[in-house]
Chain A
Amino acid sequence: MDIVALLVIVAVLAAVVALVTGPLRGERLERAGADAEDDIAELEARKEAKYREIRDAEMDLRTGKLSDEDHRALDRQLRAEAVEILAALDAARS
């Protein structure tokens, strides 16, 4: 094995070790949030999804897939579900 190859390998090894052990040597971490933050993120995403559902339902009404009556009922139900999610969000944030 020639000397250049050896040097390259050693350099790469050093770089990899530096990168991988960085967090263990106290480097600033990309700190992932606490579990609670994960739960809040989940609720936030569910809220967005619920808003998207409300919008989809409205789209379904306007493109003639739902009758006014059915849409009203669905919209009411979806908004109630959204309210629940918002309440859960408030609880999680407090």
Chain B
Amino acid sequence: MPPARKRRIRLVVALSAAVLLAGALVYTSLLSSNEAVTPSDLVSARTGTSYQLTGKVVDGSVRSTSNGVDFRVRDREGTTAVPVSYSGAVPDPFREGREVIITVRKQGAMFVGERDSLVTKCPSKFTEDATQRS
């Protein structure tokens, strides 16, 4: 086989592999990704679907359970809140009033958090706070 033809075949193979990979990426990401929502969005949540919930932990709502914590999450600016039950190790920065991200699934009236999916955003060190400046 002449070298030029060999090269063309290699190119076609490589490009096809790339297209296949790209297709797989798009397909699986649409399939397995969770919608990112706020508590107000969860009003219309479907049971059994996973969502990535972002919001603030409501002050005074944190309760220890036998193997984790229960708490409420509210909109960043707002009062709509949903109850979340999380089992597993609670991250160190977790605190009332802080913003959290957690993957939840609706079960009855409660949203159950997926293990190790609770991420607490570190308190703002990188934001500009005009009032702090003199």
Do A's and B's CB atoms come within 8 Å in the complex? no
Chain A residues close to B by CB (< 8 Å)? none
Residues of B bordering A, CB below 8 Å: none
